[in-house]
Amino acid sequence: MRILGIDPGFAIVGFGLVEAGRGRCAALRCGAINTPAGLPLPTRLLQIARDMETLLEQFRPDAMAVEELFFNTNVTTGIGVAQARGVILMTAEKLEVPIFEYTPSQVKQAVVGYGKAEKRQVMDMTRRLLNLKELPRPDDAADALAVALCHARSSTSLLSGRG
C-alpha cells in the first residue's frame, strides 16, 4: 500500500510517501511544497492545489494521511493553515484518493508509543522505523513521513476496524 503523508501548512506543506506491506514500511520520497511569503494567500493556495495535484498524479497513492490542526497560540497562522489544509483535502477528494486524518497525539502514539512524545522522539523513531541514515529535511517532510507511518500502523491494526 502506498501512503502519502501530509503535514499541512501554507508556507510549507511537507509530504512523505511510504510503501507499507508485510509488516514493513519503506520511505519512497519526501519533500516539501514551498510558497513564497510575498504572495497573496489566494495565490499561495492555488500553488498548493496545483502542486498537490501533481504529487497525487505522480505518486498515485492508495491513501493520503493528513495531520489534523493543532492550534497553539497564533490563531492567525492557524487560519491560514486551515485554509491550506482545506485545499489539500479538496484536491485529494477531486482525484478520488481516500483521505485519513490523524491528530498529533495519534501520530505520536503510533510512531513512538506515547501520545505526548517530544518532536525529537517522533523524528528519531521515524528515521529508525524507515531505516533512514539521517532525518529528512525540512522538518515538515519528516513530520509527513510520521503521518504516513501512523496510517500504515493504524490501517493494519486489528483494533482500527479497517484492517
Active site (catalytic) residues = 7, 67, 140
CA distance 124 to 106: 17
Judge contact between 16 and 145, C-beta under 8 A.
yes
Judge contact between 149 and 111, C-beta under 8 A.
yes
Mark out the alpha helices in the chain (DSSP H runs).
41-59, 75-94, 104-112, 119-129, 139-155
Q: HSE (CB half, 13 Å, CA atoms) of 116?
A: 0
Helix (H, G, I), strand (E, B) or coil at 117: coil
CA distance 123 to 14: 14
In terms of Cβ atoms closer than 10 Å to its own Cβ (0-12, 13-18, 19+), residue 161 is exposed
